[in-house]
Amino acid sequence: MSTTTSTISGNPTLWQDPEHYLAIDQESNVGLRDLRKDAISHFLRMGIPNKHHEEWKYLNFASLAKTHYHPVTAHQPFQLTSADAERFRLAGKDAILVMIENGRLNKQASNLKALPKGIQIGTLADFADDAAVVSEYAMHAPYQEEPFVALNTALAFAPVVVKVDNHAIIPNAIQIICLSNADHEAIAVNVRFLIVVGKHAECTLVKSHHTIHDRFPVFLNTVVETVLGENAKLNFCKVQDEREKTTHINYHKVIQARDSVHHITTLTIGGSLVRNNLNILLNDENCNAHLNGLYVMNGTQVVDNHTLVDHSKPNCYSNELYKGIIDEKSTGVFNGKIFVREDAQKTNAFQSNKNIILSNDATMNTKPQLEIFADDVKCSHGATTGQIDEEALFYLRSRGIAEPEARALLNHAFAADVINQVALEPLRESLMELLNRKLRELEA
């Protein structure tokens, strides 16, 4: 095969032989052998999606398919320490840091001992005896239909579990810092999370992605399954701040039980190609879901947010606000689906997507998609894509503010709207700093 390259270990690359990396032995105690075999067969059947596939039509995976990624294996030693994690602290000094190094929980570099009572973080193997956890694993993200979920289900050898006990109110924010370190070869990282928040529990989680080294390309394939119990409250923030050699495919499925409240914020400023699937199922009455997203892009970045809020039961509320600033030759995609099932009377579902295009070469594709089968509902959606407000720009300049600063001020105001929805103050401030750093990059 012409794509063959030799590797340090002599192992095949990811696309040459994904089955070689089937994570069968790693977690034998949780009995995932059949699941993984089934998942890889689905991946081999579906393959990497292409532009003919409606859900993937704006993404070009040619370069992904050509790159000789080497899946990270359980045998590779950890290289990073807690000091490396500390550099990426976003949620304030009281936040507890947990490090995922190239897809694996690095317990040494994590401050697991400091976790407050009521929350546990470990690998799936650590939870082998916990039926409440094991029974949820891989039950929600549909590997039969989603090729990258299938790949992840087959190859994620050490799934990470976050479990919040029933009634536990977790005082500290937990930041899970996912670091990519591709210092000697192109790597493929399949990282898997299961987050189980028990009944009446409350917790703030931050999952942030950063790059330590990207001398070689990184393919990050993440799947998150979140299960919220009755009356549970979860504030979740996802930060994608990788460097430019990272392709990040992320599938996130959330199941909400009765009376649960979920706030989720997604900030994407890094990565060459980022695809986020956020799929929220409001599975019982009186659920509350807030989805906020912000993407700020330049260069040739491609960021694709596909969201789905599935109202299956009555009296639920969802509110979605996604905003984007798209500069240079970058491309943004927003596809926001809202399903209101026949049963879901008295649904309130709102969606808004607003974009600013800063260059003639930048593109934004936005598509709201509402499918409503109930008759007593309040739903609205709106999508706008435009240039910077010239009238506002002139107003600021007429007060003595130079054009570049005036533009930065307006862009910041536009984007800050999303970050301002984040409740935790130190986190909000860190996100503002990340935003400002990115905006300075845009002006440069």
Partner 1 sequence: MLLSIKDLRASIEGKQILNGINLTIKPGEVHAIMGPNGSGKSTLASVLAGREEYEVQGGEVIFEKQDLLDMSPEDRARAGIFLAFQYPVEIPGVSNANFLKTAVNEVRKSRGLEAYDSKDFLKVMQEKMKLVEMDKVMTQRSVNEGFSGGEKKRNEIFQMAMLEPKLGILDETDSGLDIDALRIVSNGVNALRNAERSFLVITHYQRLLDYIVPDFVHVLYKGKIVKSGPKELALELEEKGYDWIKDEVDALNA
The binder of partner 1 chosen from 65, 388, 416, 432 (CB under 8 A): 416
401: contact with partner 1 by CB under 8 A: yes
The binder of partner 1 chosen from 17, 108, 139, 394 (CB under 8 A): 394
Tokens, residue 261: 């409240």
Distance CA 126, CA 116 (A): 18
Q: Count CA within 13 A, CB hemisphere, residue 122.
A: 13
429: contact with partner 1 by CB under 8 A: no
Contact 163, 150 (CB under 8 A): no
Distance CA 20, CA 124 (A): 22
Q: Which amino acid is at 282?
A: L
The binder of partner 1 chosen from 35, 65, 370, 409 (CB under 8 A): 409
112: contact with partner 1 by CB under 8 A: no
To partner 1, the closest distance from the beta carbon of 93 in angstroms equals 24
373: contact with partner 1 by CB under 8 A: no
Question: Could you tell me which stretch among 136-144, 221-229, 236-244, 408-416 binds partner 1 (CB under 8 A)?
Answer: 408-416
Residues binding partner 1: number (CB under 8 A): 22
Contact 32, 134 (CB under 8 A): no
SS3 of residue 32 by DSSP: coil
10: contact with partner 1 by CB under 8 A: no
Question: Could you tell me which stretch among 148-156, 265-273, 304-312, 405-413 binds partner 1 (CB under 8 A)?
Answer: 405-413
Q: Which parts of 13-130 fold into alpha helices (H)? A: 33-46, 62-66, 82-86
Catalogue the E-assigned strands of 157-201: 160-164, 174-182, 187-197
Closer of 180 and 355 to partner 1 (Cβ): 355
CA angle in degrees (0–180, nearest 5) for 416-418-421: 105
Closer of 26 and 385 to partner 1 (Cβ): 385
To partner 1, the closest distance from the beta carbon of 400 in angstroms equals 4
To partner 1, the closest distance from the beta carbon of 408 in angstroms equals 10
Closer of 134 and 356 to partner 1 (Cβ): 356
CA angle in degrees (0–180, nearest 5) for 36-39-41: 110
Tokens, residue 5: 């390259």
CA 210 to chain centre: 12
Question: Could you tell me which stretch among 73-81, 117-125, 376-384, 404-412 binds partner 1 (CB under 8 A)?
Answer: 404-412
Distance CA 202, CA 225 (A): 17
Contact 262, 288 (CB under 8 A): yes
115: contact with partner 1 by CB under 8 A: no
Closer of 370 and 393 to partner 1 (Cβ): 393
The binder of partner 1 chosen from 413, 433, 440, 441 (CB under 8 A): 413
**Length of the chain in terms of residues written:** 444
405: contact with partner 1 by CB under 8 A: yes
Tokens, residue 234: 């979860």
What residue ranges bind partner 1 (CB under 8 A)?
389, 391-392, 394-403, 405-406, 409-410, 412-414, 416-417
